[in-house]
Amino acid sequence: MHDPQDLGFIGSIRALIALGRIPLAFEVPLSTLLGCVIASQIFPSVTSSSKSIFSSLNGWATLQCMLVTWGTNVAINYGNEWYDYALDAPEQEDSIRRDVKLREALAKRAKGEAGGQNLEEEARQANSKLYGNTTRILHDGTFPPWTTLAVAALWQGALVALILFSRAADPALSGTSLENGARTPFRGLALHLGIICTILSHSYVGPPLRLHYNGFGELVSALFLSPVAVLFGMVGHYTASTGRPVAWSDLFTYDLPTPSGFTLDKSLWLLLGALYFYEQARIFVMHVHDIGGDVAGGKRTFVSRIGHRRAKDLYAVFNVVAITLFGLLARTLSGESYGDGKSLIGRAGGKMLRLEARSSAARVWTGGLVVLLSCALPVMVATYRVLLAEIPEDTAPSTDAPDALPDVDPKHNFHDRQVRDGGQVHEPNQRAGGISMTDCIKLVSLQTLATPAVLTMTALLAAYVGERTK
């Protein structure tokens, strides 16, 4: 439906920013920052003469790593809009047509009735709601659909330029004196991770893999958005701070020194594993909410394949596994292996702390994990209760249908209409415990956004306390 908006220059920029979800794309760079901070405390830096906990953090390398993960996330958001255009078109056109009629009806009534001012306000609110749909600008003629693909290419091109500039300024690659120029984080494993993650992320809904349409989107997203982002920050920071690129084999060599000097130990693997399951639970909540639309659009996502009931149960399982791994991490840091100096997290400013200092740092880590889980547990419980209340209990994968797609009306909506499931009509509860599914999605997203921030502050505080105790 052709109904273009007159946004002006500033309005157009704001609309494009909203379309790329730029303000909401900070989870990945925060995870990258966590990886950089952890690496700065574990491994000694050759780029800083000072050994304090803050000077060991390579600010330029950290910024580059964060820009790459943030920018790639934004570019993917724009690209997804292009590849999902045909899928979104019917719903968007119906929504635009319906809301335009409402806006016009309210405007006519406002002119002919005594309560015109109130109706004008209703018309203004309806118009605001209509324009608040960020994807609308592609379907109403405001912007041509290819705009998102062009913006995605610009973002990704800028990141490639940053990487090339960073590598050109590296003295080890340019052949200049080692005293001139900053070392790049984009070498070895860090560069390989960046390339692989970028290609697979753009294949989330795009060709050739279209992971989200074929049941792998949730699994890959959870892997890249949190643990791989942390690992990328660690490897990139280490490479820039030491000038030694990391090899893939270094990740699985537990006895130092490795050829590069980089490795992961039990505590770090526990942290990465906990972050993965933590993120996977969030993504399941997001996609359970979209099962109807995904089935209608032909997206054979992992969640739509297994159905509502199993997705709900897996949400609980993922959270239990994440909590268990966080608990094992706390036990590892405060146990004998930490006291014996075997845990890599028992360091500050690239140096191993003494026993008493490590014990103090371990208590800080334990306290940070307790705070994190204390805030997360109420959200987990509330979300699970809403899943129980709003999703039909007898919804299950159809064993006779191909790909085990759930037997649901593909155009169902959990919030404002009945859900037909297995021949029965279910009236969904709008709220459970005072919150709705939409509220839960916001809370879970905020929870996963706060997680890397809390862990980053915990890592810095633990290193600071360890240094002061020493």
pLDDT digits (tens, 9 = 90+) for 383-422: 898 888 776 554 444 443 444 444 444 333 433 434 434 3
Does any domain span residue 124? no
* Whole-angstrom distance, CA of residue 28 vs CA of residue 53: 23
Does any domain span residue 365? yes
Report field, pTM of the whole predicted structure over 0.95: no
| Residues present in the chain in total | 470
Distances (CA, A) of 264 to 116, 137, 188, 260: 68, 46, 16, 12
Beta bridge partner(s), residue 348: 351
- Start-to-end C-alpha separation, the chain: 69
pLDDT digits (tens, 9 = 90+) for 225-238: 999 999 999 999 99
pLDDT digits (tens, 9 = 90+) for 94-117: 777 777 777 677 777 766 654 445
Q: How many domains does the chain have?
A: 1
pLDDT digits (tens, 9 = 90+) for 291-316: 777 777 677 888 888 888 888 899 99
pLDDT digits (tens, 9 = 90+) for 329-348: 998 887 644 545 556 776 77
Looking at 21-30, 153-162, 179-188, which range is the least confident one? 179-188
* Whole-angstrom distance, CA of residue 134 vs CA of residue 92: 11
- Residues 452 and 31 sit within 8 Å (Cβ to Cβ): yes
- Residues 192 and 185 sit within 8 Å (Cβ to Cβ): no
- Residues 270 and 323 sit within 8 Å (Cβ to Cβ): no
* Whole-angstrom distance, CA of residue 205 vs CA of residue 64: 26
| Residue 187 pLDDT exceeds 70 | yes
- Residues 232 and 69 sit within 8 Å (Cβ to Cβ): yes
Whole-number average pLDDT of the chain? 79
Does any domain span residue 111? no
For residue 207, say if its preceding peptide bond is cis, omega within 30 degrees of 0. Answer: no
Indicate the helix (H) or strand (E) that contains 420.
strand 419-421
Residue 174 is encoded by which pair of tokens? 């340019």
Does any domain span residue 12? no
Does any domain span residue 376? yes
- Residues 465 and 356 sit within 8 Å (Cβ to Cβ): no
Residue 136 is encoded by which pair of tokens? 């609308």
* Whole-angstrom distance, CA of residue 54 vs CA of residue 410: 53
Does any domain span residue 402? yes
Does any domain span residue 33? yes
Residue 50 is part of which domain span?
25-84+147-469
Does any domain span residue 116? no
Query: How would you write 97-114 as a 3-class SS string?
Result: HHHHHHHHHHHHHHHHCC
Residue 124 has a pLDDT of: 55
